[in-house]
Chains A and B, each alone.
Chain A
């Protein structure tokens, strides 16, 4: 096996194993809160922060986490960090916290965090785990922001609040749930095309 490096972690997280369009992890917030680019970006950053911190702690504790009960330990750790992130968000960015609603709290049970905790952090050292978290966090944030931007342009006619398409000419289905599914499917198709059949 080739030596794992920081670069490889970032590369895998952002491109090869992109959590949203390749592994399809954490799709619930991806579909639900991406009505605007700002929401998407905020959700991505929240998830990335929880992911990095959880992976770091889980990696530190990997020798004392019992194999049989590891899931419950992951939930506890992720829930701790989610609470901290949520309180920070409430304190400094109340409007974003308002628009993300319940989905900030639901980060504690995001599949992406368990996927990476069980798939990487539990077997590797804390330093690389941090970069694994950064890579996957960036990959997640990237796609969720792109999806949010497309949905905002098509559905509301703005991008980060700046109007591009005049009111009344927007495709409001893009802002609704069916539009989220259609557009995510398009992004996955594009990702598959770029990867060109390469296996993860």
Chain B
């Protein structure tokens, strides 16, 4: 459920609450119409943090890929149960991390497959054998992308891998 149940509201009443802007005051901006800004050199400094982080991100991404492979190998033949659910949750989170880190360090193809795996694991309990085939295809694709260091989403090998996964989805999905 995404809606908020708001016990503080009175039924049938819409309250519009205008809050004093403490943040502006804290920053020393005394005129209501004056605008604060983050200086461009500070923004450039933060952008450099992203670039610096990108190098480590690739390494960290590799660790998450390893975790996904290990968990998938443990989980794929397991019967439904709490342990399986727990491992599926781990794969879901780690696939999400792969997507985030890969996006950060410019590994767009890995980000793409990380997202596909995360969303697929999130949508199914993998109780049907066909679903396992699709997950396996996605895990394999991530592994290949990482090993061969294919970054670009429009690389010829990327097209081939995406076609392989699509074939699994078309056949078993």
The answer to whether A binds B is: no
Question: B residues within 8 Å of A by Cβ?
Answer: none
